[in-house]
Amino acid sequence: MSQTVTPRRTTRSSASALSSVPAAPKYRPKPSPRRQLLVTAAAGPKDYDSVGELLDALPCRRAQAMDLIRLLVPAPALPLMLYGGAATGKTRTLLLALTNLRPSQRLVYASLRSLPSPRALFASLLSQLGATSSSTFSRQRLPEKPSDFISALRNALTGIVSQGEVVYLVFDNLDVVRSWDKGDQLLTLLFRLHDLLQLPQVVLVYVSSATPDAYYSMTGSVEPNYVYFSDYTVDEARDILIRGHPNPKLYSSFLSVALKPLFRVTRRVDELSAVLEPLFNRYSEPLGDLKAVSDEGIKRRLFEHVQPHLAVALSETFSVPMRASMHEIKDSGSAGKGSAKRQLGGREGLSTELEFHMSMSAKYLLLSAFLSSRNPATLDAALFDSTGGSDNRKRKRKSSQASLDMKDTMAEEMLMKGPGTFPLERLLAIFQCITSVSEDKHEVECADNKEPESGMTDLMSDVLLQLSTLCNSNFLSKSRSCPLESSARYRSNIDEDLALKVARSVSFPLSKYMYRR
Amino acid sequence: MAAAAPSSEAPLTAATNIEPFFVLHKGDALSTSASSLPPHLARWRIDVSRLTSSPNHKSRKRSRNEAVEEDSSGGAELYERLRLEAFHRAWSKIQSTINEVLRGISLKLFDQVLEWVHESFSAVRSIARPTTAEVQQPYPLLTDVICRKIPTAFVLTKNAEFVDDITTFRDLAGHLESNGCHLAKLSAADFSAKHGVGSCFRSLLRQLLSYVPDVAHIFALASWYSLKENYDQPIVVIIDDLEQCCGDVLGELVMMLSEWVIKIPIFFVMGIATTLDAPGKLLSSEALQRLEPCKLTLGSPSDRMNALVEAILVKPCAGFCISHEVAVFLRNYFFKHDGTITSLISALKLACSKHFSIEPLSFLCMGMLEEDCENFWRNEFDALPQVMQKYSSGLPSCTREMGSSNSGNNMVKGLSELMKVQKDWSSVLLCLYEAGRHGKVQLLDIFCEALNPYLHTQKMPNSATFLSKVTTENLQIGKSGTSRRFIDQAMDAIRYLPAETLFHLLEVWSIHLKGMNEISVKVKELQSTTISVDSVRITKDKWPRRSTGSAGNCTVPLNDKVAMLLDDATRNFLVPVECLPFHEIICFKNVGILQSALIGNPRRMVQLDLLKSHRHLKCSCCRKNGIAVSASMHDTSIMCNLAQEYGDVINLHDWYLSFDGIINSTHSKVKRKPHASPLKKKSKPMAAESEAMIQARFCRAVTELQITGLLRMPSKRRPDLVQRIAFGP
């Protein structure tokens, strides 16, 4: 299996590196009993046990681990690059290989994700090498320029290397750098370290979840040896997931139904385990005794029990996988058993009402923003007339039917483009129209309920305040512009669901005003 | 000029720091505005300082005796001071009640959060318990955990407006810190795209570490955390306004910390104002994957509102209450405009201060808080000067009710009666709310209805039996809309309650109705019948076949009985405060003041002031020619008046010509009345305005109109037209 997924480039480059590693066989036989491992590991300084342990700790990463051992054990002349998708065990394999095989070596590890700037990277590397202790860093001694850093690094390294030690410099999460400001320069520097340092005892290891192609344009340095970490297959993923589970029997029967559909959505083991965990809890819910022997009938029943949740999880993993676990936590906190129905029914329940409080004028403003983002501006006159009256709206609409047809293509285009932008004036005009309409209705509804003031002016009064509230909560976004000219344009970010909820909460007939093709 | 304003208005505006915005003052008018408001104001401010130093009772008595000897204005001063003192006492009482209520509500959440923190901490520690040396290693700990997730609590604040929650999160931070968590609070300002994750991490470090290294990286945090005194506590990072954060930066921070979460147990508490979709929209899926979410909710704003209304307005807490109109206004303001507790409290404070500054007898409110209130009122009344005694008997509410004999006794009696009725009113109202709770009726709605004096007078003659009343009510709803919507809804809710909740309801009622003997006896009776019904039902459940019919028969009349009792109580005891004599003393009714203070509508006010400037200035020159525009008016005012003649665009040239015409027509008048207005004083040295001067004044006026938001400057496309923004008189 591992032979098929290892790309040719890896094998070729490792083959070229193998010149210094004579005894290692290129491929292992597929069913690998420990005897043969012994042969493979003979090249290493460590004995049989530690390699076995290492491979045990790295499920389904046998090929990569072997590659690594071969490449690492006599200090390699070339830098090393581990690449492959996220959550494929790159860092784990590397660290285990390094710590298991050479416990005495110096390991300098820098995860570029936790070091958000080049300066932090330099400081961390130097402090790990003992050149400076991190607590006594002073401004003067901290290298600012790459050239200073290189010389400081070389000084620190030569001190160690001269004692006969091999130093491993590991740069993890290298792909993060690409999005940095001036990330190219740093990447070039890191890749050229091998040439710049000229120290054979220093082994550079890069770990990246982007393929080497992503870095080609920036280098021009010596090409490292590659080790590719392929994505796990279904079977491998199952093996990994089942590993160390307290109830492997039940879990494997659960995985046999749940893993395959989910695997179509994501192949990352971490995501899978996150989604599977609550699902498994649901799965084992009907069983009183988890150790109970499960026959086919029980399995079938359990499957029927979990199937609706599985369907939900499938669609949610794709968009926001956190949602499922959210319900899970909430439900398990409040009620134990009846939660299954509630979770499924609750989704519809949620969609009918607004979950948070907003003032009425903010709601109307949001609706008018939604309308002005959705409807083409040319239709405003047809939908709202100057009095905002809803009574003659129909007539108006009919008369402009022809023009509606004419604008169809344009409107369609607008829909394709997503929500449009609009100036403040248009927003306010629509706001005034829809508030006056709904106020009229409100007045009719409760005629004898003495309101102290007609509501329209009320709603209009602090509309800019409400606008800023909406912008703050990300419902509207505003383009930057000169405040005096007031030519800022807005765009509404809400989806139709939310708009409908808001409309329902103020009983505003939103769908009447929405232009649809 | 401003001094000419009605004298009763002046201290009000001054008292609350809400000063009117005068556009029209120029030159000397400005200088007078500072010194002219003040005869009252100056005294007021001095009083404040004096009062805060020695508000004790004896000195007050003595000073009163002196004051009686003084003239009436001195007496007025004394009572002003008394009122101010009363305001301070009442408001501090209200404020402390508010704080208590809000803290009670948020404490529930705080304890939940704390529990969650402890749970997550033990969960993280159960995975691995790294030694301090391991924590300081730069590379990640190798564990069997497939996915490293940061436990994250999303706190739904359920209000799009954020103001209320600032204090909540501040208190939460204090609560967690005092319970042994390391705490850092990040706000949206820390997550700016410009400075990136570095600065955000630095401000995190700054809050935790005493010494922040020059280069902020996570090893500093790791070495700090591995110190002995820090090691056994989780770190909680509170981000109070998630929506306003920059998603990329937050995502990076999440990714960065999640690598370390097993070594450094760091948890997030994030406040979400809107929906749970917000983090999904903000963060990348990779970052979301690293969060282990948990949802916590704060009480919704209307819940908090209900609790506040109950504590402050329904239960007599400070001897101050509001009228129906004010209540309806506050409710509408809450739902339509602001929807924050903060604004509700400020509105209440405003109402309270207005009440104590307007109502001459308002200091008598304090009697409600005294132990021996009748005695207090009697003493106070005897000490009142003649004018105020007369005023008290002339209050509209008591002239309506009773004759004029022995006003002192009347007042004392009236006030104690008022207090008693008010107490009954609040107990019955709470009973109504308890019932309405099952029908999802908000306290605020019932409160507004219970305050409505019209409804009360309306329903008094209606003494029909309950059943027939219900039917007529139903008809009424069809016809005239919603006269008593919420109270009826509450009553309806009772009729569909199952026996258990009904029993519970009666229990709660008996607590609320403790002081009212007649009804509580009836409640006790009903309670005993419920118990018997319950026991009957329990025994009958053994023979389910027979019991189905009879049990159903049993519960229906009981529900009706309870509803009837409540209806009875409502009719007899739910007397709105405005129907009682002397309610003016404790009840704030002036909704207009509140409205103008809260809903400023500034642009409209500016325009109105500009159009009717003579009303405010009260100068001799403009009043004579009434509506017509005269040159003695302020330039901006003239321009604004002229602009009324145009549509939504104004031709600049025409506008200028008419402005020029008016200004130049002045100069003929100037000779006739030379010192009429400050404007002319200034322009006196010039015999006739030069063209350049008029142009300059024109430009200045246009700019002022632009700044006040009444018009927009010409665009490039049509350089000779300005656009009007504000319309209508």
What digits encode the pLDDT tens for the residues B490-528? Answer: 888 888 888 788 888 888 888 888 777 777 788 888 777
Contact B220/A at CB under 8 A: yes
Interface predicted TM-score (ipTM) over 0.85 = no
Q: Which residues of A touch B296 (CB under 8 A)?
A: none
Ranking A340-344, A510-514, B416-420, B689-693 by mean pLDDT, the lowest is A340-344
Strands B711-712 and B721-724: antiparallel
Hey, what are B432's tokens? 């109504």
Contacts of A94 (CB under 8 A, 6+ apart): A68, A82, A170, A205, A207
At A243, is the secondary structure helix, strand, or coil? coil
| For A364, nearest residue in chain B (alpha carbons) | B336
Report the run of H or E that residue B663 belongs to, with start and end. helix B652-672
The predicted-structure confidence for A56-95, as pLDDT tens digits, reads as follows 888 888 888 888 888 887 767 788 889 988 888 888 888 8
Interface of B with A in 483-522 (CB under 8 A): 483
How many Cβ atoms are within 10 Å of B369's Cβ, its own excluded? 16
Residue range A156-180: average pLDDT?
85
Beta strands in B139-265 (DSSP E): 150-156, 182-186, 235-239
Crossing angle, helix B407-437 and helix B386-393, to 10 degrees?
50
* Best to test chain B binding among A135, A136, A319, A322 (most B CBs inside 10 Å): A322
* Best to test chain B binding among A359, A441, A472, A476 (most B CBs inside 10 Å): A359
Q: Which residues of A touch B595 (CB under 8 A)?
A: 452-453
3-state secondary structure B60-81: HHHHHHHHHHCCHHHHHHHHHH
Query: CB–CB of B276 and A326 under 8 A?
Result: yes
Query: CB–CB of A113 and B339 under 8 A?
Result: no
Hey, what are B537's tokens? 């039902």
User: Which pLDDT belongs to residue B399?
Assistant: 63
3-state secondary structure B221-249: HHHHHCCHHHHCCCEEEEECCHHHCCHHH
The predicted-structure confidence for A331-380, as pLDDT tens digits, reads as follows 433 333 333 333 333 343 445 677 788 888 888 999 999 998 888 888 78
At A446, is the secondary structure helix, strand, or coil? coil
pLDDT reading at B23 higher than 70: no
Report the run of H or E that residue A331 belongs to, with start and end. helix A322-334
Residues in chain A: 517
The predicted-structure confidence for B145-187, as pLDDT tens digits, reads as follows 766 788 888 888 888 888 888 888 999 999 999 998 999 999 8
Give the residue ranges of DSSP H helices in A129-265. 146-161, 183-191, 193-197, 213-216, 234-242, 248-265
**CA distances for A163 relative to A156, A159, A244, angstroms:** 12, 7, 42
Hey, what are B35's tokens? 């010194």
Query: CB–CB of B337 and A462 under 8 A?
Result: yes
User: Which pLDDT belongs to residue B268?
Assistant: 92
Beta strands in B318-389 (DSSP E): 321-322
Interface of B with A in 174-203 (CB under 8 A): 196-198, 201
Q: Are the CB atoms for B388 and B79 separated by under 8 Å?
A: yes
Burial of B652 (0-12, 13-18, 19+ CB in 10 A): middle
Strands of the B649-651 sheet, one edge to the other: B649-651, B721-724, B711-712
pLDDT: is A495 or B405 the higher one?
A495
Q: Which of B212, B184, B448, B426 is nearest to B323 (CA)?
A: B448
Report the run of H or E that residue B334 belongs to, with start and end. none
Mean of pLDDT over chain B: 74
How many Cβ atoms are within 10 Å of A101's Cβ, its own excluded? 19
Rounded to the nearest angstrom, the minimum Cα separation between B504 and chain A is: 22
| For A453, nearest residue in chain B (alpha carbons) | B329
Backbone Cα Rg of chain B: 34
Ranking A77-91, B206-220, B397-411, B609-623 by mean pLDDT, the lowest is B397-411
Q: Which of B171, B98, B154, B157 is nearest to B301 (CA)?
A: B157
The predicted-structure confidence for A390-422, as pLDDT tens digits, reads as follows 444 444 445 456 666 666 776 667 667 778 888
DSSP state at residue A179: G
Q: Which residues of A touch B723 (CB under 8 A)?
A: none
Hey, what are B296's tokens? 């916590």
Q: Which of A431, A436, A5, A411 is nearest to A230 (CA)?
A: A5
**Closest partner residue to A119 among B215, B278, B338, by Cβ?**
B215
3-state secondary structure B304-323: HHHHHHHHHHHCCCCCCEEC
Band (pLDDT 50/70/90 cuts) for residue B647 is confident
Q: Which of B82, B8, B10, B71 is nearest to B47 (CA)?
A: B82
Whole-angstrom distance, CA of residue A151 vs CA of residue A197: 9
Does the reported pTM lie above 0.80? no
Contacts of A276 (CB under 8 A, 6+ apart): A241, A254, A255, A258, A259, A262
Contacts of B676 (CB under 8 A, 6+ apart): B619, B620, B621, B632
| For A447, nearest residue in chain B (alpha carbons) | B481
**CA distances for B710 relative to A507, B605, B650, angstroms:** 33, 11, 12
* Best to test chain B binding among A82, A205, A269, A357 (most B CBs inside 10 Å): A357
Specify which residues B267 forms β-bridges with: B236
Give the percent of chain A with pLDDT over 90. Answer: 2
Q: Are the CB atoms for B127 and B145 separated by under 8 Å?
A: yes
DSSP state at residue B300: P
The predicted-structure confidence for A100-117, as pLDDT tens digits, reads as follows 766 667 888 888 888 888
How many angstroms from the chain centroid is the CA of residue B657?
49
Query: CB–CB of A109 and B138 under 8 A?
Result: yes
pLDDT reading at B667 higher than 60: no
The predicted-structure confidence for A442-473, as pLDDT tens digits, reads as follows 554 444 343 434 444 556 667 888 888 888 88
Query: CB–CB of B147 and A452 under 8 A?
Result: no
Q: Are the CB atoms for B645 and B662 separated by under 8 Å?
A: no
What is the largest distance, in Å, between two alpha-carbon atoms of chain A?
A: 98
Band (pLDDT 50/70/90 cuts) for residue A218 is low
Q: Which residues of B touch A356 (CB under 8 A)?
A: 156-160, 273-275, 300
Hey, what are B17's tokens? 């720091």
Report the run of H or E that residue B722 belongs to, with start and end. strand B721-724
Q: Which residues of A touch B293 (CB under 8 A)?
A: 322, 325-326, 329
Whole-angstrom distance, CA of residue A69 vs CA of residue A65: 6
Q: Are the CB atoms for B276 and A323 separated by under 8 Å?
A: yes
pLDDT reading at B728 higher than 60: yes
User: Which pLDDT belongs to residue B319?
Assistant: 76
Q: Which of A321, A304, A323, A302 is nearest to A262 (CA)?
A: A321
What is the largest distance, in Å, between two alpha-carbon atoms of chain B?
A: 110
User: What one-character-per-residue DSSP string does A44-78 give?
Assistant: SSS-HHHHHHHHHHSTT-HHHHHHHHHHHSSPPSS
Rounded to the nearest angstrom, the minimum Cα separation between A131 and chain B is: 16
Specify which residues B60 forms β-bridges with: none
At B728, is the secondary structure helix, strand, or coil? coil
Query: CB–CB of A116 and B198 under 8 A?
Result: yes
The predicted-structure confidence for B420-436, as pLDDT tens digits, reads as follows 888 888 888 888 888 88
**Closest partner residue to B336 among A57, A355, A455, by Cβ?**
A455
Give the percent of chain B with pLDDT over 90. Answer: 7
Burial of A179 (0-12, 13-18, 19+ CB in 10 A): exposed
Name the range with the highest mean pLDDT among A513-517, B66-70, B255-259, B297-301. B255-259
Hey, what are A181's tokens? 């400001």
Residue range B626-636: average pLDDT?
75
Q: Which residues of B touch A269 (CB under 8 A)?
A: 146-147
Contacts of B59 (CB under 8 A, 6+ apart): none
Q: Which residues of A touch B588 (CB under 8 A)?
A: none
Q: Which of B367, B380, B379 is nearest to B319 (CA)?
A: B367
**Closest partner residue to B160 among A92, A269, A473, by Cβ?**
A473
The predicted-structure confidence for B300-351, as pLDDT tens digits, reads as follows 788 888 888 888 888 877 778 888 888 888 888 888 877 788 888 888 888 8
Query: CB–CB of B217 and A96 under 8 A?
Result: no
Rounded to the nearest angstrom, the minimum Cα separation between A465 and chain B is: 9
Contacts of B386 (CB under 8 A, 6+ apart): none
Query: CB–CB of B335 and A360 under 8 A?
Result: yes
The predicted-structure confidence for A192-210, as pLDDT tens digits, reads as follows 888 888 888 888 899 998 8
Q: Which residues of B touch A486 (CB under 8 A)?
A: 712
At B255, is the secondary structure helix, strand, or coil? helix
**CA distances for B31 relative to A254, B26, B614, angstroms:** 84, 9, 19
| For B145, nearest residue in chain A (alpha carbons) | A270
User: What one-character-per-residue DSSP string does B403-438 give?
Assistant: --S-HHHHHHHHHHHHHHHHHHHHHHHHHHHHHHHT
pLDDT reading at B446 higher than 80: yes
* Best to test chain B binding among A436, A473, A477, A478 (most B CBs inside 10 Å): A473
User: Which pLDDT belongs to residue B239?
Assistant: 92
The predicted-structure confidence for A224-276, as pLDDT tens digits, reads as follows 888 899 888 888 888 888 887 888 888 888 888 888 888 888 888 888 888 88
Long-range CB contact pairs, A401-407, < 8 A, 24+: A404/A379, A407/A376, A407/A378, A407/A379
Whole-angstrom distance, CA of residue A444 vs CA of residue A467: 28
How many Cβ atoms are within 10 Å of A207's Cβ, its own excluded? 25
Q: Which of B20, B58, B60 is nearest to B37 (CA)?
A: B20
